[in-house]
């Protein structure tokens, strides 16, 4: 019944029966459906944190294939995982503390030439959601993010092994004490084994049983941490004997059993479907139909669970550039905040201002309360979060405030000389070009409005500084500004 409902929805959306092979085929521009600035900005909002306006023309020229290929070409560069670091605005950040850890990564999101690397890491940070139990493990958080940045576009098996070995995860879900002898026998801790199956790979209803959780935990016994908070395998803690997980026998093999466990989990059909669905809902749309997920999951398994191959298919697909995907998601707080900064080229004086505002929107990066992460979509939107987003827009644009927003920059760069062109430009780069004509007309009228009544807007530095700040704040306060 549910599958029929999805088919009906998809048919209604496009007027014909859903075809996953057509939807996943590469987008080919045409005269009636060109590769243009609208599609570039859509791609950069989803595969990164928005495009800077001056970068868009070169991406249009590069074409869809060239632009996506460039996004997928990432380095192995890491961010500093301990001590002081100098941010791009000249501010010093101490990664020993939560603020410094977050500030460094946020700075990277803003200035990066590898936006998909950071966007994938943000996705995986919510998927493998890790917090800290005390200050002693604070320094592990940046190392955890580096694991996600290094493996986020690699093979899923490598990512899962790296996360399983990660000291932050070992501490967070107690696998560091899994198998620790108590009263002469190993004590099994199932916390990580359960989340590995339930939240990280197969999903809540993925087909595993409680016995699978316990057997997986036995495979994981002995994977722990040493005195310097590094991964250490402790053979004496490992539960001896063969294990059976998801109907497959994992033979007694010490530390290697975890690799066999990961292979077993990836071999189960629920895993590819669960992960593909979650990635699709984050990057494309919230309502993929089952046949599309089936085809995409099978393709991904055939590739050896290569995440780069999966993202290449998604980001080049017909579906991704269709009306079923464009403007069909809700921006999470980081997407909202980072895109606004990049669109307006507004460097911040101090990163604590960004951090405070994003926390007020409900997102505490690297500070998860439990392994389930955050709910996406409309869960980010309520009365208080919308107020917080409007306040952020005020912070971004206020004169002598928290950012270095320069209202004259875009006007001079593009030689804008009319109110209509000015408003249309900011509406476009801030991603609200689908606002109703009546709202756009109100923005036109705002530019000519003063305390003493309507007066024609003049392109003087003082007037530009005053009115463009207000214009951008108004745009960022619109509901459409939260749609991705």
At 176-227, the pLDDT tens digits run 999 999 888 889 999 999 999 999 999 999 999 999 999 999 999 999 998 7
Is the model more confident about 138 or about 291? 291
- The mean pLDDT of 370-376, rounded to a whole number, is 89
pLDDT above 90 covers what percent of the chain?
Answer: 71
Distance CA 359, CA 385 (A): 10
The DSSP annotation for 424-454 comes to: HHHHHHTT-TTS-HHHHHHHHHHHTEETTEE
Residue 6: per-residue pLDDT:
34
Confirm if 109 and 354 have CB atoms less than 8 A apart. no
Average pLDDT over residues 374-384: 89
Tell me if residue 228 falls in helix, strand or coil.
Answer: coil
User: What pLDDT is recorded for position 135?
Assistant: 58
Largest Cα span, the chain: 85
Maximum average pLDDT range among 140-149, 167-176, 311-320: 311-320
CA 458 to chain centroid, in Å, comes to 41
Q: pLDDT-based confidence at 263, cuts 50/70/90? A: very high
Boundaries of every domain in the chain: 2-73+285-321, 155-266, 333-482
Give the whole-angstrom CA distance, residue 183 versus residue 185. Answer: 6
Q: Residue 11: pLDDT above 50?
A: no
Residues 6+ apart with CB under 8 A from 120: 148, 152, 153, 307, 311
- 390-448 pLDDT, tens digit per residue, is 999 998 998 877 888 888 888 888 899 999 999 999 999 999 999 999 999 999 999 98
Q: Is 243 left (phi over 0), alpha (psi -120 to 50) or beta?
A: beta
Region of poorest pLDDT, from 123-127, 316-320, 358-362: 358-362
DSSP 86-143: E-TTS-EEETTSHHHHHHHHHHHHHH-S-HHHHHHHHHHHHHT----SSGGGTTHHHH
Ordered DSSP codes for 243-262: EEETTEEE---GGGHHHHHH
């Amino acid at each position: 019944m549910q599958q029929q409902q999805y088919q009906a929805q998809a048919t209604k959306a496009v007027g014909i029966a859903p075809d996953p092979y057509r939807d996943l085929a590469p987008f080919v521009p045409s005269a009636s459906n060109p590769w243009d600035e609208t599609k570039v900005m859509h791609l950069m909002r989803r595969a990164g944190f928005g495009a800077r306006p001056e970068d868009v023309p070169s991406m249009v020229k590069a074409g869809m294939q060239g632009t996506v290929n460039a996004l997928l070409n990432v380095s192995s560069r890491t961010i500093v995982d301990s001590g002081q670091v100098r941010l791009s605005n000249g501010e010093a950040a101490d990664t020993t503390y939560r603020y410094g850890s977050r500030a460094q990564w946020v700075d990277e999101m803003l200035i990066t030439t590898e936006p998909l690397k950071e966007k994938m890491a943000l996705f995986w940070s919510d998927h493998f959601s890790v917090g800290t139990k005390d200050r002693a493990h604070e320094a592990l958080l940046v190392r955890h993010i580096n694991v996600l940045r290094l493996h986020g576009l690699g093979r899923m098996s490598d990512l899962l092994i790296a996360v399983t070995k990660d000291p932050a995860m070992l501490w967070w879900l107690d696998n560091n004490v899994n198998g620790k002898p108590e009263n002469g026998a190993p004590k099994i801790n199932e916390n990580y084994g359960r989340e590995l199956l339930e939240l990280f790979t197969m999903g809540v209803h993925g087909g595993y049983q409680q016995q699978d959780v316990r057997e997986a935990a036995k495979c994981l016994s002995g994977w722990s941490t040493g005195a310097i908070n590094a991964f250490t395998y402790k053979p004496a803690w490992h539960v001896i004997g063969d294990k059976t997980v998801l109907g497959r026998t994992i033979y007694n093999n010490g530390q290697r059993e975890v690799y066999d466990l990961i292979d077993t989990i990836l071999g189960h059909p629920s895993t590819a479907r669960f992960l593909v669905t979650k990635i699709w809902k984050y990057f494309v749309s919230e309502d993929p139909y089952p046949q599309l997920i089936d085809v995409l999951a099978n393709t991904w398994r055939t590739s050896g669970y290569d995440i780069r191959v999966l993202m290449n298919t998604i980001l080049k697909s017909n579906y991704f550039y269709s009306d079923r995907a464009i403007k069909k998601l809700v921006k999470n707080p980081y997407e909202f905040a980072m895109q606004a900064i990049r669109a307006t080229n507004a460097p911040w004086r101090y990163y604590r201002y960004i951090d405070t505002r994003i926390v007020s929107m409900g997102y505490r990066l690297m500070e998860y309360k439990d392994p389930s992460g955050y709910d996406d979509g409309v869960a980010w939107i309520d009365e208080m979060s919308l107020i917080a987003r409007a306040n952020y827009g005020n912070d971004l644009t206020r004169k002598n405030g928290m950012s270095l927003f320069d209202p004259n920059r875009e006007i001079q760069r593009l030689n804008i000389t009319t109110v209509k062109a000015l408003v249309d430009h900011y509406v476009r780069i801030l991603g609200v070009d689908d606002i109703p004509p009546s709202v756009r007309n109100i923005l036109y009228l705002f530019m000519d409005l003063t305390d003493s009544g309507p007066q024609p807007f003049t392109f003087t530095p003082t007037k530009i500084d005053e009115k463009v700040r207000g214009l951008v704040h108004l745009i960022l306060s619109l509901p459409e500004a939260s749609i991705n």
